[in-house]
């Protein structure tokens, strides 16, 4: 009879938790990820109800409270669904549908009873993921989508376990194996998902065109209509408007033209298409040109932006309205286009009828302002002298740029010039434009952006809504060209760039965002068609295809990177699948025995071929022998005694191996 090796084997009691409790925790975590992902795509009411319901689920579980009656939950969800779906329209479809999916998710969570309900919860999270992808695919979406997909995999695995054993409980070792297995399954899905992303057919026009959110709060940003005296405070917005890939330019060249506002109503400015092509000449062959590749962020902008003065655009599907302005018919989705600009004035001609358009003012408008204009231009002949006099008045007359304490009322412009002397670029440009017209100088306003932060890593300018700007163009009769006049004080916050000690980090983060938008968000039907054509030509004549310039595909480097990506991803997926299947086929007892042998070899104790475990342990000394005896005693219950390797015993064996790993070699 062999000697007993069981002395001191038993460890502390194994703590377990019910599978249902783990399911509820994962469901709440998945719900939080969904809320984080879709926060900017749903209304605040739905977001508040969703967050409160998740908190209620946690309290019911922690405090062991009774669940709300199913009728009450169903009634509340149905009422909210009616309110949400009543807002559906042809132009506002994705957001209400997303809110409806989240409300159905809540009902399933509050009324969960069986494993089938948990499966439906996992499917609803994936549906919410797909619907939100119609609205936005920012970096945050990628992180939340990965977390949501992993949580959905966990829910499906736990639900299958609960269906097989209703009262099942998990130990820490079981939980660790479950987490690793879910991660393996999710990792195997990623190559397939990426392949579907690149191979799924693209449509030329999106099915749903989400509208950018708006509100009653005034904030900085581009507008094709200018209204004075309506708001007293404007909030600064750091929202990205567009990125422009081009060479780095001097700051005084960074004027991004959008819309021309030439009709003054008395309280604001609007677009006027009369004389829209007057005064805009054509450059000669020696005029330097600046090319830009621009990615316009999703929003309500109908105008394309380019460096002042743009000649043409390509790829934006826009209509040229003259004087360097381009208007597109649709809004909502992101847009990628190219533009060509010249930075010097373009001589042209302006007819008498066109001059009268740019001299129009309401009858009897602002007599005190007109008197101030007469004083400023007294003795100055018509021409650049009058332009400089009016511009100098705002630059040296004690005026301050501000977004707060703006003048209100119909006479806001006159009071700004004569009394308050504080306002934003809209007040400065409007006052200068009106006073130029009073001085007999044809003038108009241009709305766009000024400035931008140049990211040298990516070679592009990042232009934000707080850099929206309005300036003046005045007609120089002698030079026969439009002259830019910017009366807004220099250094205003609207044109400020990115600064600070963390500027390098933000540059890197913004560059990642730019690459994400370029490679994934910008992957459309045109890009897919280009890749398909290139691959077809590559198969027909590989040598000629690699020598030929790839144009929009980014050159040979993009081709090689793309080919490597297509090669590595499937191979990685096959390797993960093979590893997972091999591990499943292997005997878990033999895996534990191999780990024991490896641990002993690290301590200089090598078990000989055909040597039994007890014989091997008898050759050891000190703490190493004691720990090895504990492992062998437990292991032989399975290896020789016929006991199944249940979760409790497996966790104990894992603990024995961990103790062996922590033992230092000089302690035995």
Residue 308 scores a pLDDT above 70:
yes
260 vs 225, 263, 308, 473, CA distance in Å? 10, 9, 12, 9
Alpha helices for 9-168 (secondary structure H): 19-38, 44-63, 70-85, 94-110, 115-133, 139-164
Q: How far apart are CA 378 and CA 363, in angstroms?
A: 22
Q: How far apart are CA 403 and CA 231, in angstroms?
A: 10
pLDDT bucket at 297, cuts 50 / 70 / 90? confident
Q: What pLDDT is stored for residue 568 in this prediction?
A: 56
Q: What is the pLDDT of residues 332-384, one digit of tens each?
A: 677 889 999 998 888 888 888 999 999 999 999 999 999 999 999 999 988 89
* Least confident residue range of 176-190, 333-347, 364-378, 633-647: 176-190
Q: What pLDDT is stored for residue 136 in this prediction?
A: 61
Residue 551 scores a pLDDT above 60:
no
Residues 342, 289 contacting (CB under 8 angstroms): yes
Residues 219, 236 contacting (CB under 8 angstroms): yes
Domain chopping of the chain, boundaries: 16-167, 226-273+288-495, 588-667
Residue 62 scores a pLDDT above 70:
yes
Q: How far apart are CA 161 and CA 154, in angstroms?
A: 11
Please state, for a pLDDT cut of 70, what percent of the chain lies above it.
71
Residue 548 DSSP code:
S
Q: How far apart are CA 654 and CA 347, in angstroms?
A: 83
pLDDT bucket at 486, cuts 50 / 70 / 90? very high
Residue 121 scores a pLDDT above 90:
no
State mean pLDDT over 167-171.
77
**CB neighbour list of residue 62: distance below 8 Å, 6 or more residues apart:** none
Q: What pLDDT is stored for residue 666 in this prediction?
A: 57
Residue 260 scores a pLDDT above 80:
yes
Residue 413 DSSP code:
H
Q: What pLDDT is stored for residue 393 in this prediction?
A: 93
Q: What pLDDT is stored for residue 289 in this prediction?
A: 92
Residue 438 scores a pLDDT above 70:
yes
Top mean-pLDDT range of 134-138, 315-319, 359-363? 359-363
Coil, helix or strand at residue 366? coil
Q: What pLDDT is stored for residue 403 in this prediction?
A: 85
Residue predicted with more confidence, 335 or 190: 335
Residue 305 scores a pLDDT above 80:
yes
The string of DSSP codes covering 273-333 is: -TTTTTT-----TTS--EEEEEEEPSSS--B--EESSEEEEESS-EEEEETTEEEES--SS
Q: What is the pLDDT of residues 207-251, one digit of tens each?
A: 444 444 433 345 557 888 888 877 766 766 778 899 999 999 999
Q: How far apart are CA 145 and CA 126, in angstroms?
A: 9
Q: What pLDDT is stored for residue 174 in this prediction?
A: 76
State mean pLDDT over 93-115.
74
Query: How does the average pLDDT of the chain come out, rounded?
Result: 77
pLDDT bucket at 555, cuts 50 / 70 / 90? very low
Q: What pLDDT is stored for residue 236 in this prediction?
A: 66
pTM of the shown model: 0.58
Please state, for a pLDDT cut of 90, what percent of the chain lies above it.
22
Q: How far apart are CA 222 and CA 238, in angstroms?
A: 13
Q: What is the pLDDT of residues 522-543, one digit of tens each?
A: 556 666 666 667 667 666 666 5
Residues 188, 52 contacting (CB under 8 angstroms): no
Q: What pLDDT is stored for residue 88 in this prediction?
A: 64
* Least confident residue range of 146-155, 481-490, 556-565: 556-565
Top mean-pLDDT range of 93-97, 146-150, 293-297, 572-576? 293-297
State mean pLDDT over 84-107.
69
Q: How far apart are CA 377 and CA 372, in angstroms?
A: 9
Residue 186 scores a pLDDT above 50:
yes
Q: What pLDDT is stored for residue 13 in this prediction?
A: 47
Q: What pLDDT is stored for residue 2 in this prediction?
A: 38
State mean pLDDT over 605-620.
85
pLDDT bucket at 651, cuts 50 / 70 / 90? confident
pLDDT bucket at 554, cuts 50 / 70 / 90? very low
Q: What pLDDT is stored for residue 601 in this prediction?
A: 86
Shortest CA distance to 219 belongs to which of 490, 404, 420? 404
């Amino acid at each position: 009879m062999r000697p007993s090796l069981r002395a001191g084997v038993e460890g502390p009691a194994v703590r377990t938790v019910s599978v249902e409790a783990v399911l509820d925790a994962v469901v709440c975590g998945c719900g939080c990820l969904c809320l984080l992902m879709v926060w900017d795509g749903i209304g605040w009411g739905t977001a508040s109800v969703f967050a409160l319901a998740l908190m209620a689920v946690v309290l019911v579980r922690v405090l062991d409270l009774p669940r709300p009656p199913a009728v009450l939950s169903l009634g509340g969800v149905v009422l909210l669904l009616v309110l949400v779906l009543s807002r559906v329209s042809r132009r506002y479809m994705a957001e209400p549908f997303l809110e409806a999916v989240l409300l159905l998710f809540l009902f399933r969570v509050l009324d969960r009873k069986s494993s089938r309900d948990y499966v439906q919860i996992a499917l609803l999270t994936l549906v919410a993921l797909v619907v939100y992808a119609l609205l936005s695919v920012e970096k945050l979406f990628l992180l939340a989508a990965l977390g949501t997909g992993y949580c959905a995999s966990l829910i499906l695995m736990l639900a299958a376990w609960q269906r097989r054993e209703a009262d099942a409980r998990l130990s820490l070792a079981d939980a660790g194996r479950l987490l690793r297995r879910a991660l393996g399954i999710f990792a195997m899905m990623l190559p397939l998902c990426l392949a579907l992303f690149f191979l799924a057919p693209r449509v030329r026009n999106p099915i749903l065109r989400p509208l950018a959110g708006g509100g009653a709060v005034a904030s900085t940003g581009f507008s094709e209509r200018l209204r004075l005296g309506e708001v007293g405070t404007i909030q600064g917005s750091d929202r990205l408007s567009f990125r422009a890939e081009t060479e780095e330019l001097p700051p005084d060249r960074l004027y991004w033209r959008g819309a021309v506002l030439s009709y003054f109503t008395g309280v604001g400015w609007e677009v006027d298409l009369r004389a829209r092509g007057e005064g805009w000449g054509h450059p000669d062959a020696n005029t330097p040109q600046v090319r830009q590749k621009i990615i316009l962020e999703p929003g309500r902008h109908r105008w394309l932006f380019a460096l002042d003065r743009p000649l043409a655009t390509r790829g934006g599907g826009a209509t040229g309205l003259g004087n360097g302005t381009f208007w597109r018919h649709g809004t909502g989705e992101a847009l990628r286009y190219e533009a060509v600009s010249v930075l010097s004035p373009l001589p042209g001609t302006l007819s008498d009828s066109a001059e009268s358009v740019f001299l129009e003012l309401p009858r009897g408008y602002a007599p005190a302002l007109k008197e101030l204009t007469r004083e400023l231009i007294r003795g100055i002949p018509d021409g650049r002298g009058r332009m400089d006099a009016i511009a100098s008045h705002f630059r040296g007359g004690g005026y301050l740029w501000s977004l707060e304490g703006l003048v209100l009322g119909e006479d806001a412009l006159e009071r700004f010039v004569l009394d308050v002397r504080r306002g934003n670029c809209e007040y400065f440009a409007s006052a200068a434009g009106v006073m130029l017209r009073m001085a007999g100088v044809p003038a108009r306003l241009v709305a766009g952006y000024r400035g931008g932060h140049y990211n040298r890593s990516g070679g592009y300018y990042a232009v934000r809504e707080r850099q929206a700007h309005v300036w003046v163009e005045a007609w120089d009769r002698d030079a026969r060209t439009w002259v830019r006049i910017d009366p807004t004080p220099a250094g205003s916050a609207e044109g400020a760039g990115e600064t600070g000690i963390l500027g390098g980090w933000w540059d890197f983060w913004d560059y990642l965002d730019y690459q994400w938008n370029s490679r994934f968000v910008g992957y459309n039907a045109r890009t897919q068609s280009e890749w398909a054509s290139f691959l077809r030509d590559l198969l027909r004549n590989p040598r000629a295809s690699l020598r030929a310039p790839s144009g929009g595909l980014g050159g040979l480097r993009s081709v090689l990177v793309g080919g490597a990506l297509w090669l590595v991803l499937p191979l990685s997926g096959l390797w993960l699948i093979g590893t997972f299947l091999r591990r499943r086929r292997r005997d878990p007892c033999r895996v534990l025995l191999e780990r024991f042998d490896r641990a002993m070899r690290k301590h200089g104790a090598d078990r000989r071929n055909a040597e039994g475990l007890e014989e091997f342990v008898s050759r050891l000394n000190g703490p190493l022998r004691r720990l090895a005896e504990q492992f062998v005693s437990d292991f032989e219950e399975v290896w020789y005694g016929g006991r199944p390797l249940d979760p409790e015993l497996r966790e104990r064996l894992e603990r024995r191996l961990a103790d062996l790993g922590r033992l230092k070699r000089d302690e035995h």
